[in-house]
Amino acid sequence: MKLLSILIAAIFAHNIALRYFLGWCPLVSQSKKLSSAWGMGVAVTLVMTVTSVLNWPIYHYLLVPFGLEYLQYIAFIIVIASSVQVLEMAIERFFPSLYTTMGVFLPLITVNCAILGVSLFMILRDYTFLTGLVYALGSGIGWTVAIISLASIREKLRFAKVPKPLQGPGITMLIAGIMAFAFLGFSGMVGIE
Amino acid sequence: MNNTTEIFVNGLWRDNPVFRQILGLCITLAITNRVVNGVTMGVAVFFVLVASSFIVSVIGEYVPRRVRIPVYMLIIATFVTLVYMFLRAYFTGLSQALGAYVGLIITNCIILGRLESFSSENGPWESVVDAAGISAGFAAALIAMSVVRELLGFGTLFGINVLGSGWTPWVSMILAPGGFLVLGLLVWIERSISPVEEG
């Protein structure tokens, strides 16, 4: 039950993109087309889950026993950079068709702050391994929901007459603001603590 | 020396990382609900960017191209760890307010972008000046955002009451939507003043 509420909270009420502002560089640049939004969303969910599964034991069984908590940033970023690399090679080798659609997004993910952010939040909030896993999965899905809704809205806006200086990032931010208002409505539904 | 000023001004205004290149948004949106946070983050990014630009401009040519991104990330992460420990030791309150976002400086695309596109190909002096300009531009954007949000959201500046007790705080300004709306409006203003060339 607790796991389920964490999952729902991570997707809606505590949406990683619209509540904690994480992963906005790709959200702005990759939300022009719905197809690339899907690719990016799936890739982020995958990497987020894999890296938090790896980072949890590294923090609790390697860094904490030796009193090396201050190395967490360096350790996490190594894990993220290398698992993205491995994942890219694995997908290229075993799922070539998937690679052609998703491959271009993978290198971008190393610098996606949502990935590192989820690992850091997981440590900061003292999650157990299972809770951390569910939280990472939920955050990935939540991020995907955000980028897909944003891309759908932007596709509809293509023929609208947006003032020139507001085109692109400006209007995207205003849309995001309105979406954030909508997601604020979920906060009464379920908490994360 | 003319060149130096030009590189600096470029970073501050013409290539402003936030309004112009739309980079580093996570931090820009997340911590700008108080001016103090904006200033602290500006200084932290200034230190990290200048220090890592210097290192990369010196060692850049010895790093094999294939592994350069992980190497850059490690250099950045090292300096961010220093900042984190410094804040924890001397500014505990601020460090708690910024929370995980100090660590997220590592994945700030402004820094990696600058290392990749400028420092790896230029000398130490130009790199440091460029880094200083870019991070001054970033800090300016953070401060502009946080002044608007703190003023409207709390009625204060640096925690000092400015708008008087009759002011009804706009709570949404300090919550998530305010960040997006203020950034959208500031981008709009900036691009109206100096339009983007078609590209």
The pair of structure tokens assigned to B166 is 């009759």
Of the pLDDT bands very low, low, confident and very high (cuts 50, 70, 90), residue B197 is low
What pLDDT, on a 0 to 100 scale, did the predictor assign at position A110?
Answer: 74
**Phi, psi (deg, nearest 5) at residue A172:** -60, -40
- Token pair for B87: 């804040």
Cβ neighbors of B153 (< 8 A, separation 6 or more) are B33, B169, B170, B171, B172, B173, B174, B178
The label of the residue with tokens 């804040």 reads B87
Please tell me which residue of chain B has the smallest CA distance to A111: B107
What does DSSP assign to residue B20?
Answer: T
| Chain B CA closest to residue A108 | B109
Size of interface A-B (CB pairs under 8 A): 135
Question: Residues A86, B70: contact at Cβ < 8 Å?
Answer: no
Judge whether A21 is closer than 8 Å to chain B, CB to CB: yes
Which CA distances in Å does B199 have to B11, B14, B195, B196? 19, 15, 12, 8
Any alpha helices (H) in chain A, and if so which ranges?
Answer: 2-11, 24-29, 34-57, 72-94, 96-102, 106-109, 113-124, 129-156, 169-184
Please name which of B149, B44, B182 lies closest in space to residue B101, comparing C-alpha atoms.
B44
Q: Quick check: B199 pLDDT over 50? A: no
Question: Rounded mean pLDDT of A18-35?
Answer: 84
Residues of A in contact with B185 (CB under 8 A): 174
Is the pLDDT at A111 greater than 80? The verdict is no
Secondary structure element (H or E) that encloses residue B161, with its range? strand B160-161
**DSSP symbols for B84-128:** HHHHHHH-HHHHHHHGGGTGGGTT-HHHHHHIIIIITTS-HHHHH
pLDDT over threshold 60, residue B1:
no
Under the banding of pLDDT at 50, 70 and 90, the label for residue A103 is: low
| pLDDT higher than 50, residue A179 | yes
Which residues, in sequence order, are bridge partners of residue B157? B160
**Res A191: pLDDT:** 63
**Per-window interface: A 77-96 vs B, CB < 8 A:** 77-78, 81-82
Q: pLDDT value at position B103? A: 86
Task: Return the exposure string of B85-118: e unless at least 16 CB atoms fall within 10 Å of the residue's CB, then b.
Answer: eebeeeeeebbebbebbbbbbbbbbbbbbbbbeb
Angle at B173 between CA B168 and CA B174, to 5 degrees: 100
**Is residue B102's pLDDT more than 60?**
yes
CB contact under 8 A, A73 and B22: no
| Rounded average pLDDT over B24-51 | 90
Dist CA A3 CA A138 (whole Å): 10
Q: For residue range A145-175, list pLDDT tens digits in order.
A: 999 999 999 998 888 888 888 888 889 999 9
Q: Tell me which chain A residues have a C-beta less than 8 angstroms from the C-beta of B22.
A: 25, 28-29, 168-169
Query: Given phi > 0 = left and psi -120 to 50 = alpha, else beta, which region is B22?
Result: left
Angstroms from B199 CA to nearest CA on chain A: 12
Nearest chain A residue to B193 by CA: give it.
Answer: A165
Instruction: With beta carbons under 8 A apart, name residues in chain B contacting A171.
Output: 184
User: Is the pLDDT assigned to residue B152 strictly greater than 60?
Assistant: yes
- Distance between CA atoms of B141 and B133, rounded to whole angstroms? 12
- Measuring CA to CA, which residue among B88, B97, B78 is closest to residue B38? B97
Closest-CA distance, A8 to chain B, in angstroms, reads: 19
A170 close to B188: Cβ distance less than 8 angstroms: yes
The reply to whether residue B104 touches residue A115, judged by beta carbons under 8 angstroms, is no
SS3 state of residue A126: coil
Q: Across the interface, do A173 and B184 touch by the CB < 8 Å criterion?
A: yes
Chain A nearest CA to B2, separation (Å): 31
Q: Which are the contacts of B132, defined by CB distance < 8 A and separation ≥ 6?
A: B8, B11, B46, B50
Strand partners, B160: B157
Specify the pairing of strand B156-157 against strand B160-161.
antiparallel
